[in-house]
Amino acid sequence: MADARPFHWEYHPPAVPREIFRVEGGHPLRGSVGVSGAKNAALKMLAAAVLTGERCRLTNVPEIEDVRVMAETLRDLGVVVDHPSANVYEVSAGDVDWLFVPLEAAAKMRASFMLLGPLLARFGEVIISNPGGDRIGRRPVDLHVDAMRALGAEIDYRYGYYYAKAPGRLRGTEVTFPVVSVMGTENAMLAATLAEGHTTIRPAAQEPEVDDLIAFLQKMGAAVERTAPDTIEVEGRKRLRGAEHHIVPDRIEAGTFAVAAAVTGGHVTLHGAPCDHLGTFVEVLDRAGVAISCTDDTIEVDASGSGGSSRPGEFRPLDIETGPYPGLATDLQPPTCVLLTQAAGRSAVHESIFEDRLEWLSELRRMGADVEVIDAHHALIDGPARLRGAELDIPDLRAGASLLLAALAAEGVSRIHGGHHVRRGYENIEAKFLDLGARIERLQEEDPTVPS
Ligand code: EPU
Protein backbone atom coordinates (compact mmCIF):
# COMPACT_ATOMS: atom_id res chain seq x y z
CA MET A 1 0.00 0.00 0.00
CA ALA A 2 1.46 3.34 -1.01
CA ASP A 3 -0.51 5.46 1.45
CA ALA A 4 2.34 7.89 2.06
CA ARG A 5 2.78 8.84 -1.59
CA PRO A 6 2.61 12.58 -2.29
CA PHE A 7 -0.43 13.64 -4.24
CA HIS A 8 -0.01 17.26 -5.32
CA TRP A 9 3.01 16.59 -7.45
CA GLU A 10 1.58 17.93 -10.64
CA TYR A 11 -1.43 19.86 -9.45
CA HIS A 12 -1.47 23.64 -9.77
CA PRO A 13 -4.35 25.24 -7.90
CA PRO A 14 -6.42 27.61 -10.03
CA ALA A 15 -5.80 31.32 -9.53
CA VAL A 16 -8.09 32.92 -6.97
CA PRO A 17 -8.70 36.63 -6.52
CA ARG A 18 -6.20 37.53 -3.83
CA GLU A 19 -7.24 40.12 -1.31
CA ILE A 20 -5.43 42.56 0.93
CA PHE A 21 -6.63 43.87 4.25
CA ARG A 22 -5.57 47.43 4.90
CA VAL A 23 -5.73 48.13 8.62
CA GLU A 24 -5.07 51.37 10.43
CA GLY A 25 -4.28 50.26 13.96
CA GLY A 26 -4.44 51.88 17.33
CA HIS A 27 -8.22 52.30 17.67
CA PRO A 28 -9.81 50.51 20.65
CA LEU A 29 -12.72 48.28 19.60
CA ARG A 30 -15.99 49.17 21.27
CA GLY A 31 -19.55 47.89 21.04
CA SER A 32 -21.22 44.55 20.54
CA VAL A 33 -21.03 41.89 17.88
CA GLY A 34 -22.89 38.65 17.13
CA VAL A 35 -21.06 35.34 16.87
CA SER A 36 -21.73 33.28 13.70
CA GLY A 37 -22.37 29.55 13.46
CA ALA A 38 -19.43 27.18 13.87
CA LYS A 39 -17.51 26.39 10.68
CA ASN A 40 -16.27 23.09 12.03
CA ALA A 41 -19.79 21.94 12.84
CA ALA A 42 -21.45 23.22 9.65
CA LEU A 43 -19.01 21.47 7.31
CA LYS A 44 -19.57 18.08 8.96
CA MET A 45 -23.35 18.47 8.96
CA LEU A 46 -23.37 19.24 5.25
CA ALA A 47 -21.42 16.00 4.79
CA ALA A 48 -23.70 14.10 7.20
CA ALA A 49 -26.76 15.14 5.17
CA VAL A 50 -25.76 12.66 2.43
CA LEU A 51 -26.48 9.82 4.88
CA THR A 52 -30.16 10.17 3.91
CA GLY A 53 -32.12 10.70 0.72
CA GLU A 54 -34.51 12.97 2.59
CA ARG A 55 -34.18 16.73 2.86
CA CYS A 56 -32.06 18.20 5.68
CA ARG A 57 -32.27 21.83 6.69
CA LEU A 58 -29.42 23.58 8.48
CA THR A 59 -29.71 27.03 10.00
CA ASN A 60 -27.07 29.34 11.49
CA VAL A 61 -24.66 28.14 8.79
CA PRO A 62 -21.80 30.67 8.52
CA GLU A 63 -21.50 32.43 5.14
CA ILE A 64 -17.88 31.50 4.55
CA GLU A 65 -15.77 30.18 1.69
CA ASP A 66 -15.30 26.68 3.15
CA VAL A 67 -19.08 26.20 3.34
CA ARG A 68 -19.39 27.38 -0.24
CA VAL A 69 -16.72 24.87 -1.31
CA MET A 70 -18.47 22.03 0.54
CA ALA A 71 -21.82 22.96 -1.06
CA GLU A 72 -20.21 23.02 -4.52
CA THR A 73 -18.52 19.68 -3.88
CA LEU A 74 -21.88 18.14 -2.95
CA ARG A 75 -23.56 19.63 -6.03
CA ASP A 76 -20.85 18.11 -8.22
CA LEU A 77 -21.85 14.71 -6.81
CA GLY A 78 -25.45 15.31 -7.87
CA VAL A 79 -26.71 16.34 -4.43
CA VAL A 80 -29.27 19.17 -4.46
CA VAL A 81 -28.00 21.94 -2.19
CA ASP A 82 -30.30 24.94 -1.82
CA HIS A 83 -29.38 28.17 -0.13
CA PRO A 84 -32.84 29.75 0.29
CA SER A 85 -31.68 32.60 2.51
CA ALA A 86 -28.60 33.81 4.35
CA ASN A 87 -27.27 31.24 6.82
CA VAL A 88 -29.74 28.55 5.71
CA TYR A 89 -28.77 25.50 3.65
CA GLU A 90 -31.03 22.65 2.54
CA VAL A 91 -29.51 19.42 1.31
CA SER A 92 -31.31 16.60 -0.57
CA ALA A 93 -29.11 13.66 -1.43
CA GLY A 94 -31.85 11.53 -3.05
CA ASP A 95 -29.79 11.08 -6.18
CA VAL A 96 -26.05 10.89 -5.96
CA ASP A 97 -24.76 9.95 -9.36
CA TRP A 98 -21.05 10.58 -9.03
CA LEU A 99 -19.23 8.93 -6.12
CA PHE A 100 -16.03 10.82 -6.74
CA VAL A 101 -14.56 13.66 -4.68
CA PRO A 102 -11.91 15.26 -6.88
CA LEU A 103 -8.57 16.83 -6.07
CA GLU A 104 -9.99 20.27 -6.94
CA ALA A 105 -12.26 20.07 -3.87
CA ALA A 106 -9.76 18.30 -1.66
CA ALA A 107 -6.94 20.73 -2.37
CA LYS A 108 -9.13 23.66 -1.32
CA MET A 109 -10.33 22.16 1.90
CA ARG A 110 -9.29 19.28 4.12
CA ALA A 111 -12.86 18.89 5.38
CA SER A 112 -13.80 17.47 1.95
CA PHE A 113 -12.44 14.21 3.39
CA MET A 114 -15.50 14.19 5.67
CA LEU A 115 -17.40 12.78 2.69
CA LEU A 116 -15.51 9.48 2.93
CA GLY A 117 -17.52 8.01 5.82
CA PRO A 118 -21.05 8.99 4.80
CA LEU A 119 -20.69 8.19 1.07
CA LEU A 120 -19.07 4.84 1.80
CA ALA A 121 -21.70 3.92 4.38
CA ARG A 122 -24.69 4.90 2.25
CA PHE A 123 -23.56 3.94 -1.26
CA GLY A 124 -20.91 1.29 -0.55
CA GLU A 125 -18.18 2.99 -2.56
CA VAL A 126 -16.36 6.25 -3.15
CA ILE A 127 -13.20 7.52 -4.77
CA ILE A 128 -11.86 10.46 -2.81
CA SER A 129 -8.78 12.61 -3.13
CA ASN A 130 -6.21 12.94 -0.40
CA PRO A 131 -6.98 16.37 1.11
CA GLY A 132 -4.82 19.48 1.29
CA GLY A 133 -6.26 22.31 3.37
CA ASP A 134 -4.24 24.67 5.51
CA ARG A 135 -0.48 24.66 5.36
CA ILE A 136 -0.04 23.78 9.00
CA GLY A 137 2.30 20.87 8.91
CA ARG A 138 1.87 17.27 7.97
CA ARG A 139 -1.86 16.59 7.97
CA PRO A 140 -2.28 12.88 7.29
CA VAL A 141 -5.61 11.04 7.01
CA ASP A 142 -4.34 7.60 8.03
CA LEU A 143 -6.59 7.53 11.11
CA HIS A 144 -9.71 8.08 8.97
CA VAL A 145 -8.65 5.35 6.56
CA ASP A 146 -7.77 2.90 9.35
CA ALA A 147 -11.16 3.54 10.98
CA MET A 148 -12.99 2.76 7.71
CA ARG A 149 -10.93 -0.41 7.28
CA ALA A 150 -11.82 -1.43 10.84
CA LEU A 151 -15.48 -0.96 9.85
CA GLY A 152 -14.95 -3.46 7.03
CA ALA A 153 -14.10 -1.17 4.10
CA GLU A 154 -11.55 -2.16 1.47
CA ILE A 155 -9.40 0.84 0.62
CA ASP A 156 -6.60 1.18 -1.94
CA TYR A 157 -4.50 4.27 -2.50
CA ARG A 158 -3.52 5.07 -6.10
CA TYR A 159 -2.31 8.30 -7.70
CA GLY A 160 -3.44 10.52 -4.85
CA TYR A 161 -6.89 8.94 -4.54
CA TYR A 162 -8.40 6.55 -2.02
CA TYR A 163 -10.57 3.92 -3.71
CA ALA A 164 -12.94 2.78 -0.97
CA LYS A 165 -15.48 -0.06 -1.14
CA ALA A 166 -17.75 -1.63 1.44
CA PRO A 167 -18.91 -5.00 0.13
CA GLY A 168 -22.39 -5.36 1.64
CA ARG A 169 -22.83 -3.02 4.61
CA LEU A 170 -20.08 -1.69 6.82
CA ARG A 171 -19.85 -3.69 10.06
CA GLY A 172 -19.90 -2.20 13.55
CA THR A 173 -16.65 -2.62 15.46
CA GLU A 174 -14.33 -1.15 18.09
CA VAL A 175 -12.61 1.86 16.54
CA THR A 176 -9.53 2.70 18.60
CA PHE A 177 -7.51 5.80 17.77
CA PRO A 178 -3.84 6.14 18.80
CA VAL A 179 -4.39 9.89 19.27
CA VAL A 180 -7.53 12.01 19.55
CA SER A 181 -8.68 13.17 16.12
CA VAL A 182 -11.66 15.48 15.57
CA MET A 183 -12.46 14.59 11.97
CA GLY A 184 -11.30 10.99 12.46
CA THR A 185 -13.90 10.63 15.22
CA GLU A 186 -16.55 12.31 13.08
CA ASN A 187 -15.85 10.27 9.96
CA ALA A 188 -15.97 7.01 11.94
CA MET A 189 -19.18 8.11 13.64
CA LEU A 190 -20.92 9.06 10.38
CA ALA A 191 -19.93 5.76 8.77
CA ALA A 192 -21.08 3.77 11.81
CA THR A 193 -24.61 5.25 11.79
CA LEU A 194 -25.44 3.08 8.74
CA ALA A 195 -23.21 0.11 9.58
CA GLU A 196 -24.58 -3.24 10.69
CA GLY A 197 -24.29 -3.62 14.46
CA HIS A 198 -22.60 -1.77 17.27
CA THR A 199 -19.58 0.57 17.06
CA THR A 200 -17.54 1.99 19.90
CA ILE A 201 -15.20 4.91 19.16
CA ARG A 202 -12.44 5.56 21.67
CA PRO A 203 -10.77 7.90 22.42
CA ALA A 204 -13.43 10.08 20.82
CA ALA A 205 -12.85 13.80 20.34
CA GLN A 206 -14.78 15.90 22.84
CA GLU A 207 -15.03 19.14 20.88
CA PRO A 208 -18.46 20.84 21.18
CA GLU A 209 -18.83 20.63 17.39
CA VAL A 210 -18.67 16.82 17.65
CA ASP A 211 -21.55 16.90 20.13
CA ASP A 212 -23.49 19.22 17.86
CA LEU A 213 -23.00 16.69 15.06
CA ILE A 214 -24.26 13.95 17.41
CA ALA A 215 -27.37 16.07 18.11
CA PHE A 216 -28.02 16.46 14.37
CA LEU A 217 -27.52 12.72 13.73
CA GLN A 218 -29.95 11.87 16.54
CA LYS A 219 -32.55 14.07 14.86
CA MET A 220 -31.88 12.09 11.68
CA GLY A 221 -32.81 8.94 13.60
CA ALA A 222 -29.28 7.69 14.23
CA ALA A 223 -28.65 5.74 17.43
CA VAL A 224 -25.50 7.55 18.50
CA GLU A 225 -24.53 8.69 21.94
CA ARG A 226 -21.53 9.89 23.93
CA THR A 227 -21.55 7.28 26.69
CA ALA A 228 -18.41 8.55 28.46
CA PRO A 229 -16.40 11.74 27.97
CA ASP A 230 -14.02 9.97 25.57
CA THR A 231 -16.39 7.33 24.20
CA ILE A 232 -19.03 7.47 21.48
CA GLU A 233 -21.24 4.47 20.80
CA VAL A 234 -23.32 3.90 17.70
CA GLU A 235 -25.96 1.27 16.91
CA GLY A 236 -26.15 1.14 13.13
CA ARG A 237 -29.51 1.78 11.43
CA LYS A 238 -30.68 0.68 7.96
CA ARG A 239 -31.65 4.21 7.00
CA LEU A 240 -31.80 7.73 8.39
CA ARG A 241 -34.36 10.49 7.80
CA GLY A 242 -34.24 14.20 7.00
CA ALA A 243 -33.87 16.63 9.90
CA GLU A 244 -33.51 20.29 10.78
CA HIS A 245 -30.74 21.66 12.98
CA HIS A 246 -29.51 25.04 14.24
CA ILE A 247 -25.70 25.07 14.38
CA VAL A 248 -23.84 26.00 17.57
CA PRO A 249 -21.97 29.32 17.66
CA ASP A 250 -18.33 29.40 16.65
CA ARG A 251 -16.13 29.35 19.75
CA ILE A 252 -13.01 30.10 17.70
CA GLU A 253 -14.57 33.23 16.21
CA ALA A 254 -15.73 34.26 19.69
CA GLY A 255 -12.23 33.76 21.09
CA THR A 256 -10.72 35.74 18.23
CA PHE A 257 -12.98 38.74 18.90
CA ALA A 258 -12.33 38.50 22.64
CA VAL A 259 -8.60 38.90 21.97
CA ALA A 260 -9.29 41.73 19.51
CA ALA A 261 -11.04 43.63 22.30
CA ALA A 262 -8.20 42.91 24.72
CA VAL A 263 -5.23 43.85 22.53
CA THR A 264 -6.80 47.09 21.29
CA GLY A 265 -7.62 48.20 24.83
CA GLY A 266 -11.29 48.02 23.92
CA HIS A 267 -14.57 47.01 25.49
CA VAL A 268 -16.64 44.50 23.50
CA THR A 269 -19.70 42.38 24.20
CA LEU A 270 -20.13 39.20 22.14
CA HIS A 271 -23.72 38.02 21.67
CA GLY A 272 -24.76 34.45 20.98
CA ALA A 273 -21.41 33.53 22.44
CA PRO A 274 -20.66 29.94 23.41
CA CYS A 275 -19.45 30.56 26.99
CA ASP A 276 -19.65 26.90 28.01
CA HIS A 277 -17.49 25.90 25.07
CA LEU A 278 -14.73 28.39 25.80
CA GLY A 279 -13.91 27.24 29.34
CA THR A 280 -10.13 26.87 29.07
CA PHE A 281 -9.76 29.93 26.88
CA VAL A 282 -11.74 32.11 29.31
CA GLU A 283 -9.41 30.83 32.05
CA VAL A 284 -6.38 31.76 29.93
CA LEU A 285 -7.66 35.31 29.45
CA ASP A 286 -8.49 35.50 33.12
CA ARG A 287 -5.00 34.31 34.14
CA ALA A 288 -3.53 36.93 31.82
CA GLY A 289 -5.47 39.53 33.76
CA VAL A 290 -7.94 40.38 30.98
CA ALA A 291 -11.30 41.41 32.48
CA ILE A 292 -13.68 38.86 30.96
CA SER A 293 -17.14 37.87 32.11
CA CYS A 294 -19.57 35.31 30.76
CA THR A 295 -23.30 34.91 31.09
CA ASP A 296 -25.40 32.27 29.33
CA ASP A 297 -24.74 33.50 25.82
CA THR A 298 -22.78 36.72 26.28
CA ILE A 299 -19.09 37.32 26.74
CA GLU A 300 -17.87 40.76 27.77
CA VAL A 301 -14.22 41.77 27.53
CA ASP A 302 -13.05 45.08 28.98
CA ALA A 303 -9.44 46.15 28.50
CA SER A 304 -10.17 49.86 28.47
CA GLY A 305 -8.62 50.43 31.89
CA SER A 306 -11.96 51.64 33.28
CA GLY A 307 -12.85 50.29 36.71
CA GLY A 308 -9.25 49.13 37.14
CA SER A 309 -9.30 46.59 34.25
CA SER A 310 -5.86 45.77 32.81
CA ARG A 311 -4.83 47.40 29.55
CA PRO A 312 -2.58 46.06 26.78
CA GLY A 313 0.97 46.14 28.10
CA GLU A 314 -0.23 45.29 31.59
CA PHE A 315 -1.40 41.73 30.96
CA ARG A 316 0.37 38.92 32.81
CA PRO A 317 2.70 36.52 30.90
CA LEU A 318 1.64 32.88 30.74
CA ASP A 319 2.81 29.38 29.88
CA ILE A 320 0.23 27.92 27.55
CA GLU A 321 -0.14 24.52 25.91
CA THR A 322 -2.69 23.57 23.28
CA GLY A 323 -4.54 20.27 23.53
CA PRO A 324 -7.66 18.40 22.46
CA TYR A 325 -10.89 19.73 24.00
CA PRO A 326 -11.38 20.59 26.83
CA GLY A 327 -7.78 21.82 26.54
CA LEU A 328 -6.79 25.09 24.88
CA ALA A 329 -7.82 24.88 21.21
CA THR A 330 -4.94 24.92 18.75
CA ASP A 331 -7.12 27.22 16.63
CA LEU A 332 -6.94 29.78 19.47
CA GLN A 333 -3.16 29.52 19.84
CA PRO A 334 -2.44 32.25 17.26
CA PRO A 335 -4.77 34.85 18.81
CA THR A 336 -3.43 33.96 22.25
CA CYS A 337 0.11 34.64 20.99
CA VAL A 338 -0.99 38.13 19.92
CA LEU A 339 -2.39 38.66 23.41
CA LEU A 340 0.90 37.53 24.97
CA THR A 341 2.84 40.18 23.04
CA GLN A 342 0.94 42.62 25.27
CA ALA A 343 1.87 40.90 28.54
CA ALA A 344 4.62 42.29 30.77
CA GLY A 345 7.23 39.51 30.82
CA ARG A 346 8.12 36.21 29.16
CA SER A 347 5.47 33.74 27.99
CA ALA A 348 6.06 30.19 26.79
CA VAL A 349 3.91 28.63 24.07
CA HIS A 350 3.66 24.87 23.49
CA GLU A 351 1.73 23.93 20.34
CA SER A 352 1.11 20.24 20.91
CA ILE A 353 -1.33 19.40 18.10
CA PHE A 354 0.18 20.50 14.77
CA GLU A 355 3.68 20.91 13.39
CA ASP A 356 4.48 24.25 11.74
CA ARG A 357 1.65 26.11 13.41
CA LEU A 358 4.18 28.49 14.94
CA GLU A 359 5.75 29.54 11.65
CA TRP A 360 3.41 32.47 11.28
CA LEU A 361 5.13 34.05 14.31
CA SER A 362 7.81 35.32 11.93
CA GLU A 363 5.17 37.69 10.51
CA LEU A 364 4.30 38.83 14.03
CA ARG A 365 8.00 39.50 14.61
CA ARG A 366 8.01 41.81 11.58
CA MET A 367 5.50 43.94 13.46
CA GLY A 368 7.89 44.38 16.37
CA ALA A 369 6.92 41.40 18.53
CA ASP A 370 9.77 39.83 20.50
CA VAL A 371 9.27 36.17 19.57
CA GLU A 372 11.69 33.27 19.55
CA VAL A 373 10.59 30.07 17.85
CA ILE A 374 12.56 27.31 19.56
CA ASP A 375 11.32 24.37 17.52
CA ALA A 376 8.22 23.22 15.64
CA HIS A 377 6.22 23.05 18.86
CA HIS A 378 7.70 25.68 21.20
CA ALA A 379 8.10 29.45 21.22
CA LEU A 380 8.90 32.22 23.68
CA ILE A 381 7.23 35.63 23.61
CA ASP A 382 8.64 38.61 25.52
CA GLY A 383 6.40 41.54 26.16
CA PRO A 384 5.07 44.05 26.21
CA ALA A 385 5.91 44.86 22.59
CA ARG A 386 5.06 48.04 20.76
CA LEU A 387 3.55 46.61 17.58
CA ARG A 388 4.04 48.59 14.37
CA GLY A 389 2.09 48.40 11.13
CA ALA A 390 3.83 46.36 8.43
CA GLU A 391 3.44 44.67 5.05
CA LEU A 392 2.41 41.12 5.94
CA ASP A 393 1.50 37.81 4.35
CA ILE A 394 -1.21 35.49 5.65
CA PRO A 395 -0.08 31.84 5.76
CA ASP A 396 -3.38 30.22 6.84
CA LEU A 397 -6.83 30.92 8.22
CA ARG A 398 -6.21 31.22 11.96
CA ALA A 399 -2.81 32.88 11.68
CA GLY A 400 -4.38 35.29 9.18
CA ALA A 401 -7.12 36.35 11.57
CA SER A 402 -4.49 36.77 14.27
CA LEU A 403 -2.38 39.05 12.07
CA LEU A 404 -5.51 41.17 11.70
CA LEU A 405 -5.72 41.40 15.50
CA ALA A 406 -2.07 42.42 15.71
CA ALA A 407 -2.63 45.03 13.01
CA LEU A 408 -5.64 46.44 14.87
CA ALA A 409 -3.46 46.79 17.96
CA ALA A 410 -0.41 48.19 16.13
CA GLU A 411 0.61 51.77 15.56
CA GLY A 412 0.28 52.79 11.92
CA VAL A 413 -0.99 51.07 8.82
CA SER A 414 -0.64 47.38 7.92
CA ARG A 415 -1.29 45.80 4.56
CA ILE A 416 -1.99 42.11 4.97
CA HIS A 417 -1.78 40.05 1.80
CA GLY A 418 -3.68 36.77 1.36
CA GLY A 419 -6.89 38.06 2.96
CA HIS A 420 -8.90 35.46 1.05
CA HIS A 421 -7.58 32.80 3.47
CA VAL A 422 -9.49 34.53 6.26
CA ARG A 423 -12.75 34.44 4.30
CA ARG A 424 -12.51 30.64 4.41
CA GLY A 425 -13.57 30.64 8.03
CA TYR A 426 -14.84 34.00 9.31
CA GLU A 427 -18.18 35.44 8.26
CA ASN A 428 -18.02 39.16 7.38
CA ILE A 429 -14.95 39.66 9.51
CA GLU A 430 -14.16 43.14 8.28
CA ALA A 431 -17.82 44.25 8.58
CA LYS A 432 -17.86 43.01 12.17
CA PHE A 433 -14.62 44.84 12.96
CA LEU A 434 -15.94 48.00 11.27
CA ASP A 435 -19.05 47.86 13.49
CA LEU A 436 -16.71 47.85 16.48
CA GLY A 437 -14.96 50.99 15.25
CA ALA A 438 -11.95 49.43 13.52
CA ARG A 439 -10.37 51.11 10.50
CA ILE A 440 -10.16 48.22 8.08
CA GLU A 441 -10.82 47.76 4.38
CA ARG A 442 -10.55 44.86 1.98
CA LEU A 443 -8.82 45.52 -1.34
CA GLN A 444 -8.25 43.35 -4.39
CA GLU A 445 -4.61 42.49 -5.02
CA GLU A 446 -3.44 44.19 -8.22
CA ASP A 447 -2.29 40.94 -9.80
CA PRO A 448 -5.16 38.50 -9.15
CA THR A 449 -3.54 35.75 -11.18
CA VAL A 450 -1.20 34.69 -8.39
CA PRO A 451 -2.16 31.16 -7.28
CA SER A 452 -3.45 30.67 -3.74
N1 EPU B 1 -3.75 13.11 12.67
C2 EPU B 1 -3.06 12.05 12.14
N3 EPU B 1 -3.72 11.25 11.23
C4 EPU B 1 -5.00 11.50 10.86
C5 EPU B 1 -5.68 12.59 11.41
C6 EPU B 1 -5.02 13.39 12.32
O7 EPU B 1 -1.91 11.81 12.45
O8 EPU B 1 -5.52 10.72 10.06
C9 EPU B 1 -3.06 13.97 13.65
C10 EPU B 1 -2.91 15.41 13.16
O11 EPU B 1 -1.79 15.57 12.34
C12 EPU B 1 -2.81 16.15 14.47
C13 EPU B 1 -3.73 15.35 15.39
O14 EPU B 1 -3.88 14.07 14.78
O15 EPU B 1 -1.52 16.10 14.95
C16 EPU B 1 -5.10 15.94 15.63
O17 EPU B 1 -5.67 16.40 14.42
P18 EPU B 1 -7.25 16.29 14.17
O19 EPU B 1 -7.52 15.07 13.35
O20 EPU B 1 -7.97 16.41 15.46
O21 EPU B 1 -7.51 17.58 13.28
P22 EPU B 1 -8.60 17.69 12.14
O23 EPU B 1 -9.77 16.88 12.50
O24 EPU B 1 -7.96 17.47 10.83
C25 EPU B 1 -9.96 19.67 13.14
C26 EPU B 1 -10.32 21.07 12.71
C27 EPU B 1 -9.09 21.96 12.79
C28 EPU B 1 -8.56 21.94 14.22
C29 EPU B 1 -8.27 20.48 14.63
C30 EPU B 1 -7.83 20.35 16.07
C31 EPU B 1 -12.09 20.79 11.10
C32 EPU B 1 -12.55 20.95 9.70
N33 EPU B 1 -10.82 21.08 11.35
O34 EPU B 1 -8.97 19.22 12.20
O35 EPU B 1 -9.53 23.27 12.48
O36 EPU B 1 -7.40 22.70 14.30
O37 EPU B 1 -9.46 19.68 14.46
O38 EPU B 1 -8.79 20.86 16.91
O39 EPU B 1 -12.86 20.45 11.98
C40 EPU B 1 -9.43 25.37 11.48
O41 EPU B 1 -10.65 25.47 11.67
O42 EPU B 1 -8.73 26.34 11.11
C43 EPU B 1 -8.78 24.10 11.69
C44 EPU B 1 -7.58 23.82 11.19
Q: Which atom of ligand 1 is nearest to the CA of 111?
A: 32
Cβ of residue 111 lying under 6 Å from some atom of ligand 1: yes
Q: Which atom of ligand 1 is nearest to the CA of 397?
A: 42
Ligand 1 centroid vs 96 CA: distance in angstroms?
28
Cβ of residue 148 lying under 6 Å from some atom of ligand 1: no
Share of the chain above pLDDT 90, in %: 85
The DSSP result for 214-239, as a single string, is HHHHHHTT-EEEEEETTEEEEE--S-
What sign does the CA torsion over 331, 295, 427, 366 have? negative
Q: Mind listing the pLDDT tens digit for each residue in 162-210?
A: 999 998 899 999 999 999 999 999 999 999 999 999 999 999 999 999 9
Which residue owns the Cα nearest ligand 1 atom 36? 331
| 418 pLDDT more than 90 | yes
* pLDDT band of 6, cuts 50, 70, 90: very low
Q: Mind listing the pLDDT tens digit for each residue in 315-366?
A: 999 999 999 999 999 999 999 999 999 999 999 999 999 988 999 999 999 9
The pLDDT assigned to 190 comes to 98
Give the Cα separation of 58 and 132 in Å (integer): 26
- The whole-model pTM stands at 0.95
Ligand 1 centroid vs 23 CA: distance in angstroms?
30
Ligand 1 centroid vs 159 CA: distance in angstroms?
23
The residue among 15 and 151 whose pLDDT is bigger is 151
Cβ of residue 178 lying under 6 Å from some atom of ligand 1: no
Give the Cα separation of 242 and 260 in Å (integer): 39
Q: Mind listing the pLDDT tens digit for each residue in 20-59?
A: 999 999 999 999 999 999 999 999 999 999 999 999 999 9
| 451 pLDDT more than 70 | no
The pLDDT assigned to 149 comes to 98
Q: Which atom of ligand 1 is nearest to the CA of 144?
A: 8
The pLDDT assigned to 135 comes to 45
Cβ of residue 351 lying under 6 Å from some atom of ligand 1: no
Mean pLDDT value across residues 298-323: 95
Inter-residue contact 447 to 17 (CB < 8 Å): no
| 446 pLDDT more than 90 | no
The pLDDT assigned to 107 comes to 85
Which residue owns the Cα nearest ligand 1 atom 25? 182
Give the Cα separation of 86 and 135 in Å (integer): 30
Weakest mean pLDDT among 58-62, 144-148, 157-161, 408-412: 157-161
Share of the chain above pLDDT 70, in %: 94
The number of CA neighbours under 13 Å toward the Cβ of 51 is 36
The pLDDT assigned to 160 comes to 85
Ligand 1 centroid vs 304 CA: distance in angstroms?
36
Ligand 1 centroid vs 181 CA: distance in angstroms?
6
Cα distances from 87 to residues 115, 383, 391, in angstroms, run: 21, 40, 34
The pLDDT assigned to 356 comes to 85
Q: Mind listing the pLDDT tens digit for each residue in 219-239?
A: 999 999 999 999 999 999 999
Cβ of residue 408 lying under 6 Å from some atom of ligand 1: no
- Mean pLDDT (the chain, rounded): 93
Pocket test for ligand 1, best of 179, 180, 209 (most atoms within 8 A of CB): 179
First to last CA, the chain: 31
Q: Which atom of ligand 1 is nearest to the CA of 331?
A: 36
Weakest mean pLDDT among 84-88, 100-104, 297-301: 100-104
Count, residues in the chain: 452
Give the Cα separation of 340 and 409 in Å (integer): 12
